[in-house]
Structures are given as C-alpha cells and as structure tokens.
Amino acid sequence: MRLIAIEEHILPGAVRDAWSAAPPPHDPVSAFADGGEAGTRLADLGEGRLALMDEQGVDVQVLSLTTPGLHNLAPDTAVEMAQRVNDLIAETCVRHPSRFQGFAALPTPHADAAPRELERAVRDLGLKGALLCGRTRERHLDHPDMRPMLAKAAELGVPLFIHPQVPLAAVRDANYSGISEKADLALAAFGLGWHYEAGLQWIRLAAAGVFDELPDLQIILGHWGEVVLFYLERTSAVFERALDLRRPLADYARNNLYVTGSGMWSEAYLLRCLDIVGPERLLFSTDFPYQYREGGAPRRFLDEVALDDAARIGFAHGNWDRLTGARG
C-alpha cells in the first residue's frame, strides 16, 4: 500500500543564515532541535533521506520548511527566502517525482507577496499547498492582513498546514516559566505550549468567521489536532452561545479541517480524531526527521492500527490524493 507522509521537514543553510541575521527575538528551539544529526537530515534532499524513507516504509514525503519558517524575518528577506526555498523544493520533486511532493513556504511578513508566492508555488512549481507556522510575530492567522493569503488558498483549492511555533516571549514568561530553564522551554515548546499555539490558530479562524467567508478553505493540523480538537465539544457549545457563526464549530471540523499524527503513533488519538472529523479527513505523517527512530514504526502503525480497509487506504494515501488531486 502506497504511504504518503505529509509533514516532512527540510532546512536549507540559507534559511539558517537568515534566521541568525534577523533581529531578535529568535526562536529558542531551533538552536538545539535543528543541530547535530537532525540538522544533517534536514539538509539532505537526496540519497540519505531516501534511504531513511525506505527503512521506514514511506513511499512519498511532502517536503516543507521547518518551524518557525519565514514568519519572523523582515518582509523583503522573507520574500527572497520563500522563492529560494520553494524553488529548491520544486527542484527536488523534479529530481525524484515518485518520492517527493512539496508544501510552499510563504513570506507571511509581507502581506501582499504571500498570496502571490502561493500562486506561483502552486501554478508554476506544482507544489501542493503551503505550510504556515501559525502567527507572524503578533499577528494571528485571522488578522485582516492574512486574509488575502487565505483567500488565495481557497481560490486555488490547496490546503494550508498550520504547524506549531514557540509562543511569544511574554506568553512563555506568563505561562511556561519558573520551573527550570530546561523544563520551561520544553513546556513552552513541544511539551505543550506550541501545540496550543497551532490549535488556537484554527479556533481563531473559525471564531473570526473565516470559514463562513471562505467555505472552501482547507486547514491541516498535526499532532492529532494540536490539543484543541479533543476539547471540541466544549468549545463548540460555548461558541454557539457566544458567537454569531453560521454553523457549529464541530461542522467546521468536518468540513474545513484535516488531521494528521506527526509521528505520534497513538491508536487512541487516531480513533478519537476519526470520530470527530471522519475517516476521510485523516492524513499520515512522520514529522521527519524529529520523530525518526529505526525500526519501521510508520509502516507498522499503518498496518496494525484498527481501521477498516477503506479507512486504512484513505489514511495511507487516498485522502491526500483526493485533497490534492486537481494538482496531479
């Protein structure tokens, strides 16, 4: 069975340099998460990556720039980096057309350029959508400056993957500090904080009426819905009383959201997501290279998880093929 993994990261050296040259604040996670062996794997777009894919039983990776993307760069620098990253991803896909697809990186600090680059990436380069790292400094995805980018995605019929990034320093200080330096950062980042950051972006899009305005917009959340999906019943009930939306929040989850596991091999989480969004909205991902471990866990999870044949095929590749089918 063909296996397509849709959250598989890269980090070109030029982006590392741009991050280092940017004014603070700098992302506190990248300094250690993107170094060493992970850094080598992030930069490898050739035989080394392909060998690890084979070992894991992954047929296709959908490549994307790792967090925090281009969100914290100066506008003009973000535009330049987006073009370079997207050209690189497209070139990699051309070299290995049966093994790689790609998500665009977008220059979200430049509100006018972001939708233009999305259109170029999709129409000219053949990329399948874009991966965003949530907010751009203090601007959330529901900010009016971001609306043209969202509208362009809906117009093109391509999904936007919302990936976590570390919360703002003020949020970290308020909510994720005072334990120890190591514990504070772990809690603020992949322990909890950045999952809330990503999930909150989808909640805010719904609360702001974006899915009413753009009913065809499709969002992908990783890590089995970035925490907020499991609290959807409560949030939906509150929204119905407090907000003037056309539909319950649960309806937006079944019509405007896809969910993937990001290398979290939890059958319990998968089955809960299946109940919430339906089997046709589950996508596969390994969060390469961060969750890579020897032993073939991705293929084993696909083979052993409690899904019927139709749902298993959809999870492995069918749902992604359908979501991106208009683009080959």
pLDDT tens digit string along 84-95?
Answer: 999 999 999 999
pLDDT at 132 over 90: yes
pLDDT per residue as tens digits for the range 47-83: 999 999 999 999 999 999 999 999 999 999 999 999 9
Instruction: Domains for the chain: give ranges and CATH numbers.
Output: 4-327 (3.20.20.140)
Query: What pLDDT does 158 receive?
Result: 99
**pTM for the full predicted model:** 0.97
- Nearest Cα residue to 6 out of 300, 315, 325: 315
Mean pLDDT of 280-300: 97
Share of the chain above pLDDT 90, in %: 95
Query: What pLDDT does 250 receive?
Result: 94
Query: What pLDDT does 32 receive?
Result: 76
Dihedral of CA atoms 92, 94, 99, 104 in degrees, nearest 10, equals 60
Strand, helix or coil at 29? coil
pLDDT at 277 over 80: yes
Mean pLDDT of 188-198: 96
Mean pLDDT of 229-249: 94
According to DSSP, the residues that pair with 101 across neighbouring strands are: 62
Query: What pLDDT does 114 receive?
Result: 99
- Nearest Cα residue to 226 out of 300, 138, 295, 141: 141
Report residue 327's pLDDT band, with 50, 70 and 90 as the boundaries. Answer: very low
Strand, helix or coil at 127? coil
pLDDT per residue as tens digits for the range 1-42: 999 999 999 999 999 999 999 988 788 888 778 889 999 999
